[in-house]
Structure formats: C-alpha cells, structure tokens
Amino acid sequence: MTNNDPIYFDEPHRQFRDNLRRFVEQEIVPKALPWEDAGMVPREVLRTMGELGYLGIRYPEQYGGSALDTVYSAILAEELGRSTFGGFAVTVLVHTDMASPHLANYGNPEQLARHLPGVTRGEKICAVAVTEPDAGSDVAGIRTRAVRDGDHWVLNGSKIFITNGVHADLYFVGAKTDTTAKGSRGISIFIVEKGTPGFRVGRKLNKSGWLSSDTAELVFENCRIPAANLLGQENKGFYQIMRNFQNERIVLGAQAVGEAARGIELTLDYVRQRKAFGATLWDKQAIRQRLAMRAAQVAAARQLVYHAAWLDAQGRECIKEVSMVKSLCGELVNEVLYDCQQFHGGFGYMREAAIERMVRDARVQAIGGGATEVMLEEVAKRL
C-alpha cells in the first residue's frame, strides 16, 4: 500500500485504479481536446468503456455489471477527474452514477431486462431530468406535471441544465403526479426514451466549462408515455431522488479530488522548471509551502471521500459525511486550481494550458449536485 492509498483499499481496488488510469492516460487525454470543440464525448468512447466494464461496476452481473460497491465508484470518479477534462468525466459519471442508478435501484424486472444491459454496454446513454428553471437544489419545487390518461401518462413541462441532455437515449424524468400534495410529496419518476412524441431538446446550452459534456434544455408538450414507464412507486419519486443524491455527491467529491490532485502534479512539474529571478519557482519558499499545504488539504479531503464511500457501501447512515464531502471538495478544488493557475503565470491563462481548462471546469463543482450552501445546511442539521 502506498502512503496515499485510503485504508479501505485492497489489491483489487489498486488493480482497478491502475488499469483505469492507464486507460485514461492512453485513450482519453491524448484525444479529448477536439471533444471540447465538438461539445460532446464520442459515442464510441462510451461503448469502449462499456466493453471494459467501467459503465456497470455497481450493477448485477446478469445485466453486464460487476456487482462492486461505492468505493469503486469513487475510484472511477477520481481517475476520470485526473484526466483534466471535466466535461468527459461528468459525461461518464452522469451515465454511471447519477442517472442510471434510478433504473438499477427502482426498475421492475421488465424495465431492467429491457434497458440495463444496453446501459452497461454504453449503447444506451442516460440522463436524469429533475432540475427546472425554478427548481435546482430545491427538488420539491418542480412544476413539470404528469397526468394519467388510461394506459399512458401525459407529461408537460421543461427541464434545464440537463447533462447528456442532447445525446442521451434514456431520460429519467421527475414530474408532479399529485398536484394536491404539498412540498416533496406527489413526485414520480418516469422513463422517457429519445424520439417519444411530445418530447424534444429545446436547445443545447453554452457553458463556461465542462465543454465536452452536452447540456440541454428539455421540453415536454403533451408527451405521452406508456404507464409501464413509471419508475418505482407513484408519488415516491422525491425519496428516490434523495437516495441517489448520496451517490451523486460522493462521485462529484471524488472527481473534484482527482482534479485537484492532478492540478498540483502539473503545477509541481511547471514550478520546478520555470525560472524567475535567478532560480526556479520551486526555490521560492512561499510557492512551495503553499503547494505543500494544498497537497495536505487534498490528501485529507481524499480520505473523507473514501470514508464516506465506505460508509455508503456498508449501508450506514452517512448524510452528514456525504454533505461534508460535497461542500468541502467542491470548494477546495476551486481554491487549489486557483493557486495552480496563479503559479503558472501568464501561461496558465492561455487556452493551450490544461490548468486554464481545469479552472473553468472546477467552478461548477461548488454549484452542481447540491450547492455548497445547501450542503452545509445538511451538515449543520446533524452537528
């Protein structure tokens, strides 16, 4: 075990990490820059990841999965974060750990047999559609409605900021099914397939960062879906969403840790070579001590991420720890990469520098998946 390995790691964890890191370094990093301009990750990349078993690590073997646990999801997220392409990382993680778990956790046998094998193979890409213009972290405020009409449900409403929204094949859509219920009650989740009449991509959104992930506004206008597409129990969708938020926030924290750790590595390489005033930047005490402190903070955050992942894998209550992970890591990655860009000087402001892209990509880590302020309230409730 290396000094940086969490105590929860054993040899299979290390083998999984090492294989995944080689894949990212060989198949992603040299090829991903054009994906930023294209605004999407090529489908063949996701199919390759499916063939290698990276898209179904938590799912039953009968559906093409590996039946592993949350710790492996955190490893996946951390290594994808290390790619320096946040858009690629989140494209995969939305599919594996934010959208498809709704199907895996709540799908009936028919739904699982129909969709999950394609999900694990990377043939059916997933998106989760909950966020609306007036309902982000406040899931209870969603306004999209679903009304039962015989053997169908009719959806009307819109969703915003939906990752994989343009190119997904399966959408897990939250809608109000009981308008008389207050607050979080009366929400249900539905499977909506691409091409369903009445469902369309309103527009592709232009973001500051995560450029290689496609993000969209979705519109539902009298969208009729079979009653069999109800996912889980009617009017219990809020609790399904809240359950999966735990998983989502762990992987976002792990992704942030991977980004911060890689940012420090790139910066160490740079400051040890860059000379100013007769010496390298590494010879400047202020710079090397700042990087040393940032390395200590990232190491501590990493241990918290894997502790939360282990708690979740053991089925233990860990809302406080997961909320700590999301709030701490989302802020820390921004602080770390700010310093990394600063120590790169003018080069760090150029689009050709990985650090410049990483800074833009990191900003949303304190917003998406539960804003820092919301997460801190969850922690405060449990102090």
Give the 3-state secondary structure of the chain: CCCCCCCCCCHHHHHHHHHHHHHHHHHHCCCCHHHHHHCCCCHHHHHHHHHCCCCCCCCCHHHCCCCCCHHHHHHHHHHHHCCCCHHHHHHHHHHHHHHHHHHHHHCCHHHHHHHHHHHHHCCCCEEEECCECCECCCHHHCCCEEEEECCEEEEEEEEEEEECCCCCCEEEEEEECCCCCCCCCCEEEEEEECCCCCEEEEEECCCCCCCCCCEEEEEEEEEEEEHHHEECCCCEHHHHHHHHHHHHHHHHHHHHHHHHHHHHHHHHHHHCCCEECCEEHHHCHHHHHHHHHHHHHHHHHHHHHHHHHHHHHCCCCCHHHHHHHHHHHHHHHHHHHHHHHHHHHHHHHCCCCHHHHHHHHHHHHHCCCCCHHHHHHHHHHCC
Residue 146 covered by a domain: yes
For residue 277, what pLDDT band results from cuts at 50, 70 and 90?
confident
The CATH number of residue 230's host domain is: 2.40.110.10
Q: Which two tokens stand for residue 199?
A: 């469902």
| Average pLDDT for 353-360 | 97
Instruction: For residues 259 and 240, give the distance between their C-alpha atoms in angstroms, rounded to a whole number.
Output: 29
Bridge-based pairing state of the strands 152-163 and 170-176 = unpaired
Residue 244 covered by a domain: yes
Do residues 32 and 60 both lie within one domain? yes
Do residues 199 and 277 both lie within one domain? no
User: In this predicted model, which residue has the larger pLDDT, 39 or 137?
Assistant: 39
Q: Which of 323, 147, 327 is nearest to 224 (CA)?
A: 147
Catalytic residue among 79, 132, 217, 248: 248
Residue 2 covered by a domain: no
Do residues 220 and 269 both lie within one domain? no
For residue 275, what pLDDT band results from cuts at 50, 70 and 90?
confident
Task: Tell me: pLDDT of 87 over 50.
Answer: yes
Segment among 2-16, 156-170, 365-379 with least mean pLDDT = 2-16
pLDDT tens, residue by residue, 298-339: 999 999 999 999 999 999 999 999 999 999 999 999 999 999
Q: Which of 73, 23, 90 is nearest to 306 (CA)?
A: 73
Task: Tell me: pLDDT of 183 over 50.
Answer: yes
Do residues 190 and 259 both lie within one domain? no
Residue 132 covered by a domain: yes
What is residue 142's predicted lDDT score, i.e. its pLDDT? 83
Instruction: For residues 53 and 309, give the distance between their C-alpha atoms in angstroms, rounded to a whole number.
Output: 20
Do residues 247 and 316 both lie within one domain? yes
Do residues 146 and 172 both lie within one domain? yes
Its domain, for residue 164, covers: 127-235
User: Could you say which of 90, 125, 160 is where a domain stops?
Assistant: 125
Instruction: For residues 374 and 381, give the distance between their C-alpha atoms in angstroms, rounded to a whole number.
Output: 11
Do residues 263 and 283 both lie within one domain? yes
What is residue 247's predicted lDDT score, i.e. its pLDDT? 92
Instruction: For residues 68 and 98, give the distance between their C-alpha atoms in angstroms, rounded to a whole number.
Output: 16
What is residue 20's predicted lDDT score, i.e. its pLDDT? 98
| Residue 284 identity (one-letter amino acid) | K
The CATH number of residue 371's host domain is: 1.20.140.10
What is residue 45's predicted lDDT score, i.e. its pLDDT? 97
Residue 1 covered by a domain: no
Do residues 142 and 183 both lie within one domain? yes
What is residue 278's predicted lDDT score, i.e. its pLDDT? 85
What is residue 276's predicted lDDT score, i.e. its pLDDT? 83
Segment among 152-166, 200-214, 273-287, 345-359 with least mean pLDDT = 273-287
User: Could you say which of 125, 156, 178 is where a domain stops?
Assistant: 125
Residue 215 covered by a domain: yes
Known active-site residue 51: no
Instruction: For residues 196 and 316, give the distance between their C-alpha atoms in angstroms, rounded to a whole number.
Output: 39
Instruction: For residues 352 and 84, give the distance between their C-alpha atoms in angstroms, rounded to a whole number.
Output: 12
Residue 60 covered by a domain: yes
Instruction: Give the chain's mean pLDDT.
Output: 94
Do residues 178 and 163 both lie within one domain? yes
Task: Tell me: pLDDT of 2 over 70.
Answer: no
> What domain count does the chain have?
3
| Residues facing residue 163 across a β-bridge | 215
Do residues 83 and 208 both lie within one domain? no
What is residue 1's predicted lDDT score, i.e. its pLDDT? 36
Q: Which residues contact 330 (CB under 8 A, 6 or more apart)?
A: 252, 253, 256, 365, 366, 367, 372, 375
| Average pLDDT for 206-233 | 96
pLDDT tens, residue by residue, 100-143: 999 999 999 999 999 999 999 999 999 999 988 865 555 656 88
Do residues 150 and 80 both lie within one domain? no
User: Could you say which of 192, 209, 235 is where a domain stops?
Assistant: 235
Instruction: For residues 383 and 373, give the distance between their C-alpha atoms in angstroms, rounded to a whole number.
Output: 15
The CATH number of residue 92's host domain is: 1.10.540.10
Residue 4 covered by a domain: no
What is residue 184's predicted lDDT score, i.e. its pLDDT? 74
Do residues 105 and 225 both lie within one domain? no
Q: Which residues contact 266 (CB under 8 A, 6 or more apart)?
A: 84, 340, 354, 355
